[in-house]
Amino acid sequence: MNGLIYRSFENFLRNTYGAELWLRTMEELDEGIESFEPMFEYDATLIQRITLIASEFLDKPREVLLEDFGTYLVAHPSSERVRRLLRFGGVDYKDFLDSLEDLRGRAHLAVPDLELPEVRLEELGKGEFELHCQGADDGAGHVYVGLLRALADDYGALVLIDFDGRHNGVDQISVRLLESDYSEGRGFALTQQAS
């Protein structure tokens, strides 16, 4: 698994819960790792172990921790590049949902070694959608739930999102778009603003 995913989760834990929690998690993992290098590849089983250890230390269900990670990827200032990649998908939340099937390809253009789950969106009508994450590792659907909720806030949309479970290796998420312009969203421009 690409080290960028591990580094992103490391940053999430460090920025949200402090460096001490991260160091305790790595000590419990007992793999001789203190920090992850974004350009390296790591054993894909490590992420499940890391999230289980951290969730136990935090006394928080693993699914909730993963949803929080998805939110962090959109909402935290250090994740602005991820937010930009996601917001590039459209001018409103519906456009964003329609662009999700292309997200894997866009991410691959930015980071060729990054393999995201294959996503398929099914529009059920009347603002209701079902998102299928195929080939996703156990837990990836919960990260998507966090991403989807954070992007709803980012766009200013009123949306109900539920994780419907994992069936035959596919995570299923229901999305109900109640109102596209519920509140004022966060500002966004295609070009990065100079500081």
Most confident of the following: 55-69, 103-117, 128-142: 55-69
Closest among 157, 142, 39 to 87, alpha carbons compared: 157
Closest among 151, 150, 149, 171 to 160, alpha carbons compared: 149
Confidence of residue 146 (pLDDT cuts 50, 70, 90): very high
pLDDT at 71: 95
Q: What is the mean pLDDT of residues 154-160?
A: 93
pLDDT at 85: 79
pLDDT tens for residues 75-107? 998 888 888 778 777 788 999 999 999 888 888
Confidence of residue 192 (pLDDT cuts 50, 70, 90): low
* Res. 148: pLDDT tops 90: yes
**How confident is the prediction for the chain on average, in pLDDT?**
88
pLDDT at 186: 61
Q: What is the mean pLDDT of residues 137-163?
A: 92
Go through 148-170 and write b for each residue having 16 or more CB atoms within 10 A of its CB, e for each that does not: bbbbbbbbbbebebebeebeeeb
pLDDT tens for residues 37-86? 988 889 888 999 999 999 999 999 999 999 999 999 999 988 888 887 78
Edge-to-edge strand ranges of the sheet holding 118-125: 118-125, 128-134, 170-179, 158-167
pLDDT at 173: 97
- For the question of whether the overall pTM of this predicted structure is more than 0.85, the answer is yes
CA angle (8, 51, 162) in 5-degree steps: 90
pLDDT at 44: 85
pLDDT tens for residues 13-46? 999 999 999 999 999 999 999 999 988 889 888 9
Residue 160 bridge partners (DSSP): 176
